[in-house]
Amino acid sequence: MYDAIVVGAGHNGLVAAGYLARAGWKVLVLERRHLVGGACVTEEVFPGYRVSTAAYLVSLLQERVVRGDGRYLFMYADQRRTCEALARFSRRDAERYPTYERFVERMARFVEPMLLEAPPNLPPRRPADFAALSRLGWRLLRLAPVQLGDLARMFTASAREVLDDWFESDELKLALATDGVIGTNGGPSSPGTAYVLLHHMMGGVGGVRGLWGFVRGGMGALSAALQRSAQAAGADVRTHAEVARIDVRDGRAVGVILAVRGRSCRMPIRSARSSD
């Protein structure tokens, strides 16, 4: 008998299982494949060679694109060096770039706390809903009108519109716009990609905002670490466990049905606990 059953042992499922287990829940994670990680996996596709088979960095980059016109743009952790590189394309953009980074930093500081909060229910029905909505409204009211407008634009505009407002060189705009389309079914002119750009700038490695890092041992090493962490907290993670369907009664999940060697097996979920 489990308090929660997570279907799929991708990195999101493993993180959820780890947090639930740390909260004292009895958790089961079910994964159809022989390994955990979903798209975040590293597999031995040839004997002795381990490859990150789903996550990628560069693909289908043609040689004529690599050669280009002989110019290049490097962006450094050192902002001064970055601005020196930008000046070869546009002195105006080099001067504005530090202000742009401060703008992004200000937007990120406002949004980041919201990533760890459940959004308020709309329309509000319970006292907790009104309280959550009031807290969000108070945070918004504390912004200056121009900052509130910038925030609304960052949530609704395209990456291209925002970058066109800031810069003139296509080379810089192209470099920055990539953060607005990664993992998104849209282009830099699609509404909403400005927030995607901001979202990727909110990340960081080693305390430096906007950096991305390689995982030692491949992306699967991250999933393996999450699995060990969840198991250390008491979660039960099972592979080769294909879920046929979720059993729902009276509007809530009460169990899952596994397909085991052509037969069905039911895993029940405990009734909601009074402390939840």
* 276 residues of the chain, pLDDT tens digit each: 899 999 999 988 998 998 899 899 999 999 999 999 888 888 888 888 888 887 654 343 345 544 566 778 888 888 999 999 999 999 999 999 999 999 999 999 899 888 888 888 888 888 989 999 999 899 999 999 999 999 999 999 999 999 999 999 999 999 999 999 988 888 999 999 999 999 988 877 777 777 778 888 888 998 999 999 999 999 999 999 999 999 999 888 999 999 887 788 888 998 754 444
Pairing of strands 42-46, 49-52: antiparallel
HSE (side-chain half, CA atoms, 13 Å) at 94: 14
Residue 229, SS3?
Answer: helix
Beta bridge partners of 10: 37
257 membership: H or E segment, kind and range: strand 252-260
226/35 Cα distance (integer angstroms): 13
- Predicted TM-score (pTM) of the model is 0.64
The yes or no reply on domain 4-55+217-268 and CATH 3.50.50.60 is: yes
Domain boundaries of the chain, sorted by first residue: 4-55+217-268, 80-209
